[in-house]
Amino acid sequence: MRTIARLHEAAYAPIGDLLTYSPLPSENLSQIDPFLFLNHHGPQHYGAHNKGLPFGPHPHRGMETVTFILEGDILHEDTSGAQSIITAGGVQWMTAGRGLVHVEESSPAFKEHGGDLEILQLWLNLPAKLKMTAPRYLGLQKDSIPVYAADDGKVKVQIISGSWDGQQGAFHSLTDVQLNVISFEPDGELTLRAPSNRNVLFYVIRGGLLVNGQAVTSLRLVEFNSDGDTIQVTSEGESVLLFGFAKPLGEPVVAQGPFVMNTEDEIHQAYMDYQMGKFGHLQK
């Protein structure tokens, strides 16, 4: 069984009127290779005639974003030609690769009518050999993502990438990343399997869990030692967990703004390419 190294409380870091909590990176944890960054927006309620999410056109290179929509929606558009509006329970997976520009905004319907909003965005590093791969995007609604039921239905596992009990996830990861959103009813129990040679992402979105017997409340990220292959989880009430694991890349990370590369020279080149229009243009 993996032992807990430390708990990290998400820092409160609002973006305008968007409630935002940032568990990764933190003061004491720069990354969980290859998991680089995690923002938790909301939960909050927007009234009618709101401005919605504030993420207008911006570039990325050298990494991937995975966006989990718990409540509300996201309108996505990018210079690869992809467009979608994904609603509650859905997931967006974007590979920036050699570079693109995208928009992440609320849909016109959400801006007009309002509603509840809660969204998480995770950044995944790409290895050097894939940093300049072709950009791609896939957005899937809740009904397109398989769910595994455990503990007589008290635990439901969204299989986003990787596999669970032989069932393949909805998204294909270029780097064999396992990702799940797991919902617990009170007293739900689950044994998580994470090979000791993989790094674990474990963030309690809502509620509270007993993790190997230790209480962990919402807005906490659990850092684990690499000394076992299982994690025992019991819910203390209705709870939601973001769980994943991946093989560490073990490569230099040079991140600046929206770009994640291996060297300073590559970062400078990314800015030059973006300024020269090589990522394409979105008119917003």
Neighbours of 112 (CB within 10 A): 12
Identify the DSSP state of 255.
E
Distance (Å, whole) CA 55 – CA 117: 15
CATH code: domain of residue 52: 2.60.120.10
Cα torsion 157, 158, 161, 167 to 10°: value is: 70
User: Is residue 152 situated within a structural domain?
Assistant: yes
Distance (Å, whole) CA 209 – CA 202: 11
Q: Number of folded domains in the chain?
A: 1
pLDDT of the residue at 226: 96
Residues of the chain with pLDDT below 50 are none
| DSSP-H helix ranges across the chain | 108-113, 264-275
User: Is residue 275 situated within a structural domain?
Assistant: no
User: Is residue 219 situated within a structural domain?
Assistant: yes
pLDDT of the residue at 282: 86
User: Is residue 252 situated within a structural domain?
Assistant: yes
DSSP characters over 58-97: EEEBSEEEEEEEEESEEEEEETTS-EEEEETT-EEEEE-T
User: Is residue 276 situated within a structural domain?
Assistant: no
pLDDT of the residue at 284: 55
User: Is residue 78 situated within a structural domain?
Assistant: yes
Give the domain range for residue 11. Answer: 4-258
Q: Is 108 exposed, middle or buried (0-12, 13-18, 19+ CB in 10 A)?
A: exposed
Distance (Å, whole) CA 155 – CA 169: 17
pLDDT tens, position by position, 114-133 = 999 999 999 999 999 999 99
User: Is residue 274 situated within a structural domain?
Assistant: no
Query: Whose CA is closest to 259, among 268, 250, 247, 246?
Result: 268
User: Is residue 281 situated within a structural domain?
Assistant: no
